[in-house]
Amino acid sequence: MTAGTFARPKIGPVLLLLPLAALVLLFFLAPLAVFVVYSVMTARLFAVAWPLTLEAYRLALTSPLNLELAINSIAIGVMTATVSVLCSLPVAYWLRYRAGRWQLPVLFLVTASMFASYLVRIYAWRTILGANGLVNRTLMELGLIDEPLGFLLFNWFSVVVALVHIFLPYVILVFFAALRPLTPAFLEAAQDLGADNLSRWRRIIVPLMTAPIVSAFLFVFVLSAADYITPQLIGGTGGQMLGVQIQTGFKAIGNWPLGAATALLMLIAFLGLYAIAQAALRASGLDRLRWAS
C-alpha cells in the first residue's frame, strides 16, 4: 500500500451475513429473550405481570411431575438415539461399500422418506400398532396370539418406534457422508494386514466415526427428548415427556412463566450435555475425522 492511500473496508461479506443474522435474531434470539423475560415475571391466567420473581423456576425444579417427565424424556431420548445410531451405521456402511448399483436408488428412498408428513408418519404407526392394526391382525391370523397385544401402543415403546422412524433417515445420511472420505483402500489395507471384519470395525471405522456418531446421537437425543407431539398422540399415560408439560403450561393452565422456565431449564440441560460431549471428544482427540494422507 502506498503512502497516502487507505484500504477500503470490505463490506461485501458483512452484507452477505446480514440476512442470516437477521433470521437468527428474529427466529431464535428474540423468542429466547421473550422466554427469559416471561420466566422471571409473575404468573397471571394466560398473561404475565410485575413484579419479577423466580417462583416459576422454583416450581419447575421442585415439581414431582416435572421430575417424572424429565426421567421419561431422558430415557426415551437415550433409547431413540441409541437405536437410531445402531441401525443407521450398518446401513450407511452397506450403502458406502456394498450397495453397488443399488446405492443411488436406496439413497433416493431414504431421502424421499424425509419428505413425508410428520403427523402422517405418527398416525401410520398408531394404525400399525393399534388393537386392530397390522401387527395384531397378522399375529392373530397366524394363531400366535388370541387377543390384541395392548403394550404396542400408548406407552414409551410406541413413542420410541415412531421417533426412530422419523430420525433414522437423517442419521443414515450423516453417517454415509462421514464415510465418504474413508475409501475402500483403507479397509483393504487393513485386511491385507490380517484384520478381520470385527477388527476393522473396532480399530478403524468406529474410532474415525466417533465425532459423527456423537453428533448424530446428540441430534436425535435432543429432538426426541424435547418432542411433545408424538407423546400426545401415541404416548398414553406412560409415554408422556417434559415437552408436553411445557405445552400444558402455555396452553392448558395458562402459566406462561412456568412454561418458559421449564423450557429454559431444558435448554440449559441440553447445552450442558453438548458442552460435556464436546469436551470429552477434544480430550480424547476424537473431535474430528483424521484421515491419513
Could you list the pLDDT tens digit for every one of the 293 residues in the chain? 455 555 565 677 778 888 888 888 888 889 899 999 999 999 998 888 999 999 999 999 999 999 999 999 999 999 999 999 999 999 999 999 999 899 999 999 999 988 888 889 999 999 999 888 899 999 999 888 888 888 899 999 999 999 999 999 999 999 999 998 888 887 888 888 878 888 888 888 888 889 999 999 999 999 999 998 999 999 988 889 999 899 999 998 999 999 999 999 999 999 999 999 989 988 887 766 555 44
> Residue 84's pLDDT is what?
97
Count the neighbouring beta carbons within 10 Å of the beta carbon of residue 258: 26
> Residue 208's pLDDT is what?
85
Q: Which domains does the chain carry?
A: 48-284 (1.10.3720.10)
> Residue 23's pLDDT is what?
87
CA dihedral 84, 87, 91, 96 (to 10 degrees): 60
> Residue 217's pLDDT is what?
96
Lookup: cell for 75: 430415557
> Residue 5's pLDDT is what?
55
Determine which helix (DSSP H) or strand (DSSP E) holds 228, and give its type and residue range: none
Contact between residue 28 and residue 246 where contact means Cβ atoms under 8 Å apart: no
Which is nearest to 207 in space by CA: 284, 133, 130, 115?
Answer: 284
> Residue 198's pLDDT is what?
85
Tell me, yes or no, if the pTM score tops 0.85: yes
DSSP 102: G
Burial (CB < 10 A; 0-12, 13-18, 19+), residue 88, is buried
**Which residues on adjacent β-strands are paired with residue 44?**
47
Contact between residue 235 and residue 161 where contact means Cβ atoms under 8 Å apart: no
Residue for cell digits 472420505? 181
Sign of CA dihedral 182, 186, 191, 193: negative
> Residue 8's pLDDT is what?
60
